[in-house]
Structure 1
Amino acid sequence: MLLLQTLRDEKERVLAGLAKRQVADAAELVERAIALDDQRKAQQTANEQLLSERNKLSKEIGGLMKSGRHEEGQALRDKVNAMKEELAVGEETLKTVKADLENLLLQLPNVPHELVPAGVNEEDNEVFQAYPGELPQMPEDAKPHWELAEEYGIFDLELGVRTTGSGFPVFTGQGARLARGLVNFFLDRNTAAGYTEYQPPLLVNEDTARATGQLPDKEGQMYHVTGDDLYLIPTAEVPLTNLYRGALLDAEDFPIKLTGYTPCFRREAGSYGAHVRGLNRVHQFDKVEIVQLAHPDNSYALLEEMVAHVGGLLDELGLPFRILRLCGGDLGFTSAMTFDFEVWSAAQQRWLEVSSVSNFETFQSNRLKLRYRGERGNDLAHTLNGSALALPRIIAALLENNQTAEGIILPEVLHPYLGRTRLERV
């Protein structure tokens, strides 16, 4: 959530950034937020003054009564009672104004970093790092991963339809072992890089989802357990970051590095067509996440570090990839800057997104009330996160890019995790 002081002191920068996001009514929303904050301050001041005067008069009543000036005392008591009613109205007004202000601020997305390119949609994203070599070419009879899955017994979409519905694949046999091996590989590399591993809950409450920006922005994409008013997580970012909700840290504590593996759940409403076949888009998938809590002075250096870390994972897997810097129109609601990683699917002849690495600056920490003791008092920390990595499209690319007549050749780094060098036909 944007800081009101930022809206006041850096209004032009805020409006320029929101214009990059194509927020048409940004100026109106910002002015309304400032006006509501002015109203809040004025009402709070009026309430405090009225309370102070009421308390002062209340003390005088006793003295008047003791001295026998009962009529004056009763008149003052009537005045105090009237002030009490007026104060109750004022407190209710203040409560309403605060709620209106918070609801409005929840509608404003984060301000993009100045290096984020302008643009309307994914077509305008900047290729930050192109793949340096020639993209692998497969023979004409190369198969997409959904056909290889049947041939090799990797996953079964029909079993998922039978038990749950479309978009819930069931990994079987060596496919299940491949998924488990990838999770362990990612976790091992992350912990070796200094991230502490967590196993967080898969369900979160409304406050947790709101703190990291999933609510009210993405409620239509989250699975809601209405009986208990809980939400299935769309990413481990949500519970991991919230582990520090309300925390007051020391500057020396940074950076704080967390990683965790979880299944993730996304409704993906409206997704259909050839581009979502197989594992290209599913409702439940496994993902290993990395999260950092950072001092504001160092967060963009740490963003570079996280980008390099994810790139190193893809290099070890031997997957051709490129990095995009998202434009304002494609940037996530909470992000100030995001880099997307895409791997090349040789059989589908297209790029598949497998990771997003983002810096949220103070947007999430303002909602989280995540602060640290700084030189000027208690300041908001910066939060960052990234996929390291999401499994479905990684598996899709590994199957498609490494298919041979002798089987699907596994990257060397996975041999210890699977106890084999290739996947065999079943």
Structure 2
Amino acid sequence: MANRTFVIGVGMTKFEKPGSRDWEYPDMAKEAVGKALTDAGIAYDRVQQAYAGSMYGAMGQRALYEVGMTGIPVMTVANACATGSSALFLARQAVRGGLADCVLALGMEKMQKGSLGAGVGKSKVTIIDHHLKAMTAGRPWEIDKAPMPQMFGNAGREHMERYGSTPDHYAWIGWKNHKHSVNNPYAQFQDEYSLEDVRNATMIFDPLTKLQCSPTSDGAAAAIVAGERFVDEHGLGDRAVEIAGHHITTDTPDSFADHSSIAAVGFGCTERAARAAMREAEVSIGDVDVVELHDCFSANELITYEALGMAPVGEGHKLVDERATTYGGRWVVNPSGGLISKGHPLGATGLAQCAELTWQLRGEAGARQVEGARVALQHNIGLGSACAVAVYRPAS
């Protein structure tokens, strides 16, 4: 029988504008992992394996030298924008499979200013070439020099054409997430904007303005994952948070079958990952209280409402009309500020989501605390493609 798995400690750096802080990957790792170890109340020599995520070339082995040199296996992970969640997934697998009692998951990134390109490195085959072909096939669109805003912007346009959402729905999501981040000391941005500010910001790719797009960021986050025996032996049950379900999916032919931008940006991946993770956790979306959702662009948040089952297909914008995804609504989505305002250092994002949800379920989120939160859901997607969905609940 598989072991129950728990997050026993989390830590992260403040997410920063690229180049605004003089630090390197080992500095990031030392800060994030040090905080996670302190949170767990254990020393690094209790960690038996480590999975370290980075999309831009950081080697996990070297990044962890300043934390400690204990001779444990350290594996570097890269899986698009879902890199951090993939490191967490592997850490959980090691514990759940009985291969280790205590495993570290780390995510980190130093990024360049400006929009993301189509891939990492100089290969002619990019990680999103299938997605770009699906987006442009049969349509009068040329590939923009910044293809990510274009892909998600076109998904938003498709939703407006098919289902009647409007630019104001997407603007509200940007407004909401910036408002949430005001109370997050780890967020890259902590400024509150008016809805008019969001609507009238620089247009990046219609309908997405700058304040509806995640920025490039530097930062790191970490989680310590342990099994039930380790938790019991160290008396950590009152602070441990169970990873009750966790699943990762990749594309199927359906992602590209009908040249739908909504499909190409991961709707099916999300739907399948969410269904599997919630089935493992034995919960439904109606049981969930708080969600950290991959809002790389506001259009993706709205579309993901539907993929997660929060609204029927074509009705995600009704949740915006009802203000159902903020404090006082049915769910609180992205209390951290999400990628749009907290920032998006690719390798760190998934583990920052894990940290936020751990704090929420412990009741340690301060002014952004979701009252009575008992079940939390994490959604982290990277085109190319990988989608991770995890379900968390308190250990007891």
Q: TM-score range by the shorter chain?
A: under 0.3
**TM-score relative to the length of structure 2:** 0.22
Give the alignment's TM-score, normalised by structure 1: 0.21
Please identify which structure carries the higher helix content: 1
